[in-house]
Chain A
Amino acid sequence: MADISRTTGPATAGPDIVSAVTGRDKALPIHVHSLVKTYGEFYALDNVSIDIQSGEFMTLLGPSGSGKTTLLMVLAGFVRPDSGSVKFGDDEILLLPPHNRDIGMVFQNYALFPHMTVAENLAYPLKLRSIGKAEIGERVGRALDLVQMKELGDRNINALSGGQRQRVALARAVIFEPRILLMDEPLSALDKNLREQMQFEVRALHDRLGITTVYVTHDQREALTMSDRIAVINEGCIQQVDPPQRLYERPETFFVASFIGETYRLPVEVRNGSASLFGQPIKIEAVPTSNRPDQILILRPEMLHIAEGLPSENENQISGTLRQNVFQGDSFVSYINIHGNHEIAVRSQHRSNTSLPEPGSEVRLSWLVQDTVILAEEDKV
């Protein structure tokens, strides 16, 4: 198992390294305003606006084809949008060519130059900035230190493992002290264990450098683990921008609710600001934003529990027939039929004394009023 503690804390890199490689004082906010990019009839970016704070780790999360990579490429300067504005701090950068934008970027396939060694790859952006040979050597050494690759400077790129390439790509993207760091699904090529380790490393590097970071992924777990805030994108539109926990607990659109986490849906009827589930009233915290009568109740397996007794003041309850219990190691998942053809799942922590009701028995499910999320289906809004 990879030793995560060794690579996550700022303790490994001394303060001198931090101040030397850091772009902290140069971290800039990003203001994207009314960005539109079309390919024929297709809107890759449909009037996208987002403000990313200085030093923030912002993740663009969405399914493939949602426009998240297009947005990143617009920031990097590789895609020319139809209209809109992108500002780094107060400077409009949309008209700058990519090589004048001073952005670090980690590509999906790393894009390391195969005809150069690791050290030459790292030195390349410094050479382009006419930095002296001695200083280049020093900074390359420090950058190699930063990503724990001190001994591998002379290696050829092709002699590196996936994780090592990943580290070199990271180091190359920050060695010239860019004001902004962009990452395009940088971990997607790694296997699961390494990916999880690198998530910590990338986040730790961000914290050490304090650099404004825009990270693109389609992996919701990665997004939830790493980000300060997540922008969920679908069909060229930003659906919601929020910190991970809020995004998970309070999805604002039907798409966000179904894209993040495991969700089950039950139809609810909303009238005059109160909701009822199969004719039975349920307690809600806030009045649903939409005033359509037919809406959807979003339930997550881990928010539910199989209840004994009547609901307490702050709970909602529904009854159903337990169909099956599935053992998943850390938990049991019970599938429950509700009102004939609706199915929802309940997750119960695995403890050795867990006893679940037998399949076929009638059970009552409870969830907190504050976890009650009711949304209208988008296409009908």
Chain B
Amino acid sequence: MSALDPATGGLPENAQALERQARAEHRKLMALSLPALILVGSLVLVPIGWLFWMSIYGSDGFTVENYARLVHPSYKTTLITTFELAFLVTGLCILMGYPVAYMASQLGPRMSSLILLCVLFPFWTSLLVRTYAWLVLLQRRGLINTWLMDLGLIDAPLKLVHNFTGTTIGMVHIMLPFFVLPLYASMKTVDFDLMKAASNLGASPVKAFWQIYVPLTLPGLGAGMILVFVLSLGFYVTPALLGGGRVMMWAMQIERSMAVYADWGAASALGVVLLVITLGILWVFGRLTGAFAATEGK
């Protein structure tokens, strides 16, 4: 029962004042987020808008020329290479990172911190240094080839660098921490009694792993996959150095448009295309994993 106050025209007592207070509080909280909104707006939305604008507005007014040029086969090859590499790197990260994250989540605190430290360690070294280090290891007369030949396992040096293989090796190494960390966090939240329950209900260890454990770690797996995939799509340094000019990534195409041809319009169009495709993939991915994430409301 609400107490009706004749003084406020039959409204319940203090109702208007309380609602005013709620609105004022809401406004104050919104105001607190203003700096962040301005920052995101000025540093993210405006440049992206500008990028888009440059891609469709050239010296002779509006144009689709920058996009029309993208149907050229060389761009198609670049796009395919970029996605091929991103998928491959993501796939290898899953294969190599899942067991590592699982081990770190299962072992005692000391061993698990050691593993995470090993995962994080490369993170604290410069990307460039790590990439050059791979160059040293993988090159024709590098450590790996020398050892393999000394051991008599191979007769001629393997082509490990300045190609797709070298790029993949380097990128997987650089991307692994991005994959392992969110997955580890997700695995830490899985209640191990659920695995016991599955086993008790008749699931063999393999079935319990695939039907219970993997679905429960999907949020972390998805986050890691998205991070690795999106970062790989726009990767520049490692493919440029380890690919030796044979692995043409989309980001390198953008760089060439600007540095070599000084064509900002073309570069912008390339950037917009990459952005749109990436967003499209993220959307599809979100739809696929969203179903699981929704049930994970713990």
Interface residues of A (CB under 8 A from B): 76-78, 97-105, 107-109, 111-116, 124-125, 128-129, 156-158, 172, 176
Known contacts A107-B193, A111-B191, A128-B207; decide if A76 and B296 are in contact (CB<8 Å): no
Main secondary structure of the interface of B (DSSP, over half): helix
| B212 contacts A by Cβ under 8 Å | yes
In the assembled complex, the Cα of A101 lies from the Cα of B203 at a distance in Å of: 11
Q: Which of chain B's residues has its CB closest to A172's CB?
A: B201
Chain B's closest residue to A124 (CB) is: B201
Q: Is the CB of B216 within 8 A of A115?
A: yes
Q: A270: shortest Cβ distance to chain B, in Å?
A: 49
Q: How far is the CA of A101 from the CA of B197 in the complex (A)?
A: 12
User: With A and B bound together, what is the CA distance between A376 and B32 in angstroms?
Assistant: 71
Docked CA distance A111–B197 (Å):
6
- State the total of A-B contacts with C-beta under 8 angstroms: 76
**Interface readout for B179-217 with A: 1 if CB under 8 Å, 0 if not?**
000000000000101101111111111011001100110
> Is B109 an interface residue when CB atoms closer than 8 A count as contact?
no
Q: Interface residues, chain B, CB within 8 Å of chain A?
A: 191, 193-194, 196-205, 207-208, 211-212, 215-216, 218, 292, 295-298
Contact A176 B202 (CB under 8 A): yes
Q: Which of B202, B203, B211, B292 has the most CB of A within 10 A?
A: B202
| Chain B residues closer than 8 Å to A99, beta-carbon distance | 199-205, 208
Question: Does the CB pair B216–A109 fall under 8 Å?
Answer: no
Q: A125 contacts B201, CB within 8 Å?
A: yes
Q: List 23 A-B contacts (CB under 8 A).
A: A78-B196, A97-B204, A98-B199, A99-B204, A101-B200, A102-B202, A105-B197, A111-B193, A111-B196, A113-B197, A114-B194, A114-B216, A114-B297, A115-B292, A116-B295, A124-B198, A124-B203, A125-B202, A128-B201, A128-B207, A158-B297, A176-B201, A176-B202
**A76 and B216: CB pair below 8 A?**
no
Of B193, B197, B205, B215, which is within 8 A of A115 by CB? Answer: B215
Tell me, in angstroms, the Cα distance from A116 to B212 when the chains sit together: 10
From B197, B204, B211, give the contact of A107 (CB < 8 A). B197
Q: Which residues of B contact A102 (CB under 8 A)?
A: 202
Q: Top 4 nearest A-B pairs by Cβ distance?
A: A111-B197, A125-B201, A111-B193, A128-B202
Whether the pair B200, A105 counts as a contact (CB closer than 8 A) is yes
B-chain residues with CB within 8 Å of residue A100 when the two chains form the complex: 202
**A76 touches which one: B198, B200, B292 (CB < 8 A)?**
B200
- Find chain A residues with CB under 8 A from B194 CB: 111, 113-114
Chain B nearest CB: distance from A286 CB in Å? 44
Known pairs A100-B202, A111-B197, A128-B201; list 20 more (Cβ under 8 Å): A98-B196, A99-B201, A99-B204, A99-B205, A99-B208, A103-B200, A104-B200, A105-B200, A107-B193, A109-B193, A111-B196, A113-B198, A114-B216, A115-B215, A116-B295, A124-B198, A129-B202, A156-B295, A158-B297, A158-B298
When the two chains form their complex, are residues B197 and A114 in contact, meaning their CB atoms are under 8 A apart? no
CB-based contact B204/A115 at 8 Å: no
Pair B199/A113 contact, Cβ less than 8 Å = no
Distance in angstroms between the alpha carbons of A98 and B191 in the assembled complex: 18
CB-based nearest B residue for A109 = B193
> A77–B204 Cα gap in the complex (Å)?
13
Query: Which residues of B are found within 8 Å of A125, using beta-carbon distances?
Result: 201-202
> How many Å from the CB of A172 to the closest CB on chain B?
7
In the bound complex, what is the Cα–Cα distance between A98 and B205 (angstroms)? 10
Tell me which of A103, A114, A124 contacts B298 (CB under 8 A): A114
Instruction: Name the residue in B191, B201, B204 with the highest tally of chain A Cβ atoms < 10 Å from its Cβ.
Output: B201
Report A78 CB to chain B, min CB distance, Å.
6
A179 CB to closest chain B CB (Å) equals 13
Can you name the residue of chain A whose Cβ is closest to the Cβ of B216?
A: A115
The residue among B193, B197, B198, B205 with the most chain A CB atoms within 10 A of its own CB is B197
Distance from B291 Cβ to chain A, minimum over Cβ atoms (Å):
9
Residues of B within 8 A of A108 (CB): 193
**Chain B residues positioned under 8 Å from A156 (CB to CB):** 295, 297
A96→B295 CA distance, assembly (Å) = 34
Please report the C-alpha to C-alpha distance between residue A112 and residue B218 in the assembled complex, in whole angstroms: 17
Asked if A128 contacts B297 (CB within 8 A), the reply is no
CB of B295 within 8 A of CB of A114, answer: yes
Residues of A with C-beta under 8 A to B292: 115
State the Cβ distance, B274 to closest chain A Cβ, in Å: 34
A125 to B204, CA, bound (A): 11
A252 to B194, CA, bound (A): 39
Which of these, A111, A158, A176, contacts B295 with CB under 8 Å? A158
CB < 8 Å neighbour of B296 from A107, A111, A115: A115
Q: Quick check: B200 and A98 within 8 Å, CB to CB? A: yes
Q: How far is the CB of A117 from chain B (nearest CB, A)?
A: 8
Q: A104 → chain B, closest Cβ, in Å?
A: 8
Find the B residue at minimum CB distance from A158: B297
Determine the distance from Cα of A129 to Cα of B202 in the docked complex, in whole angstroms: 8
Residue of B nearest to A125 (CB): B201
Chain A residue with minimal CB distance to B212? Answer: A113
Chain A neighbourhood of B296, CB < 8 A:
114-115
Are A128 and B295 interface neighbours, CB within 8 A? Answer: no
> Which of A77, A101, A107, A115 has the largest number of chain B CB atoms within 10 A?
A115
The docked-state distance in angstroms from the alpha carbon of A171 to that of B212 is 19
- CB neighbours (8 Å) of B196 from chain A are 76, 78, 98, 107, 111
With a cutoff of 8 Å between Cβ atoms, the chain A residues found around residue B197 in the complex are: 105, 107, 111-113
Residue of B194, B207, B298 contacting most chain A CB atoms (<10 Å): B194
B192 CB to closest chain A CB (Å) equals 9
Q: Could you say which residues of chain B place their CB within 8 Å of the CB of A115?
A: 215-216, 218, 292, 295-296
Instruction: Tell me how far the C-beta of A115 lies from the nearest C-beta in chain B, rounded to whole angstroms.
Output: 5
Greatest chain B CB density within 10 A among A108, A129, A158 is at A158
- What residues of A have a CB within 8 angstroms of the CB of B198 in the complex? 113, 124
A290: shortest Cβ distance to chain B, in Å?
A: 42
Considering the complex, give the chain A residue whose CB is closest to the CB of B295.
A115
B contact residues around A77 at 8 Å (CB): 199-200
